[in-house]
Amino acid sequence: MIEINNTTKVKIPALKLRRIIEKFILAYKLKDFSVSVAIIGDSKMRELNYTYRGYDKPTDVLSFTELNEIIIDIQVIKRQAKELSKSWESELIFILVHGLLHLIGYDDNTESKRLKMIAWGEDFLRLL
């Protein structure tokens, strides 16, 4: 089951996100995989990031493997997209894939692992 919940007023490409998740599931041969994606804003993300990671600031994505849940801050996504000179939708998709990689066990707790995760995400997106 794929669930996408948008708690913001920003219109997101939910169908496109669902299709990307479906392709990810097929590409990684995941059986009985379900995921819930929540799109939230800065204030809620700041609260969650502080509660679960001890950082008193918003972040782009939090992944909870035990719940198969990805939480994305659309305001951070829009700021990052602007900094990277790309569309916020493409940044949203990239961060969604990054969150999915976390759910299946990939980690980015070191710089080398972070760079590998970025490369894996980009490789997957090239397949679309």
Q: How many domains does the chain have?
A: 1
Containing structural domain, residue 74:
2-127
In DSSP notation, the chain reads -EEEEE-SSS---HHHHHHHHHHHHHHTT-SS--EEEEEE-HHHHHHHHHHHH--SS--SEEEETTTTEEEEEHHHHHHHHHHTTS-HHHHHHHHHHHHHHHHTT---SSHHHHHHHHHHHHHHHHH-
Tens-digit pLDDT string for the chain (128 aa): 999 999 999 999 999 999 999 999 999 999 999 999 999 999 999 999 999 999 999 999 999 999 999 999 999 999 999 999 999 999 999 999 999 999 999 988 899 998 999 898 888 888 87
Binding residues for Zn(2+): 98, 102, 108
Binding residues: 98, 102, 108
**For residue 54, what is the domain's CATH number?**
3.40.390.30
